[in-house]
Structure 1
Amino acid sequence: MRDTASRAGQSEGSLNRTLPTVAKLGLAAACALGLAACVTPQERHAMDQNQCYAFGFEPDTDGFAECMMGLHQQRAVAQANSNLYWQAQLAEQNRRREARQDLYKIASLQRSGDPRFPICGASSDGGMDRRTMTWYGPNCRAR
């Protein structure tokens, strides 16, 4: 009986010692992966040079220069496409938010005078109609 308790205490103690080690290794691996994604312009240039050399182009030749320009242009096009994608995502979010606000405003105006709904305020979901300086939201009535 005592031997079992002793072993349980040992395994618990070893678990307490290995858990921080495992956490440290996981943190180190996460940091390494994060830093691997960061590439300086000089490192990117060196990688491009290695890629063009692997394609069979010799340094200081026209083909090598064209290869380097092609890789640079591909990266620029990919970045431009990424920028366009995120701009479109942001525009869609803005459009949806404005449409939701318009629906809240219409619903709030339709519920005017209905005591089942609370009066809107600054803490309500929705917004403020700047023309009339009144609050509107999904579950509000006008004051």
Structure 2
Amino acid sequence: MKLLAWGVPMVVAVSLSGCADPAQVRAENRAADRQRCADYGYQEGTDAFATCMERSDEKREYAEQRAEDRKARIRELALKRSGDERYPICSAATPNVELDVEGFWYAEGCRAR
């Protein structure tokens, strides 16, 4: 159950982090971490609380890195599929699509060009 409690807020934070001010997102994450650590029974100012906060940061960084790695893999696959007519061309209407810095769309299950 704790895994679910950690996973959902991190996914939401990762999903929304591109749309919000990074300083605001960090502040909201820290506030949520403080509350979560307090809910676990740790008291602010203790070593246990500090460890809880540190682990929260590490878990968030890990989740963000996994999300970035996944996007990179999806982009790479979309590029490899370019010209392969078995896959539709990615477009702005494709679900969960991303726009590459080179100006092409990429998503899971489609080709870049």
Query: What RMSD, in angstroms, separates the aligned Cα atoms of the two structures?
Result: 2.4
**Counterpart check, 1:128 vs 2:99:** yes
> C-alpha distance in 2, partners of 1:81/1:89?
12
Letter in 1 for 2:108: P
Q: Which residue of 1 aligns with 2:78?
A: 108
Structure number with greater Rg is 1
**Structure 1 segments of 4+ aligned residues over 3 angstroms from their partners:** none
1:103 Cα offset (Å): 0.7
Q: Which residue of 2 aligns with 1:78?
A: 48
Q: Which residue of 2 aligns with 1:91?
A: 61
Q: Which residue of 2 aligns with 1:141?
A: 111
Instruction: Give CA deviations for 1:60-86 in whole Å, capped at 9, x if unaligned.
Output: xxxxxxxxxxxx78x521221111111
TM-score by length of 2: 0.54
Report the count of equivalent residues: 72
Unaligned 5+ segments in structure 2 are: 1-37
Unaligned 5+ segments in structure 1 are: 1-36, 39-71
Q: Which residue of 2 aligns with 1:49?
A: none
1:121 Cα offset (Å): 2.7
Residues 120 and 136, structure 1, Cα contact 8 Å, conserved in 2: yes
Distance change in 2, residues 1:126/1:95 (3 Å) = farther
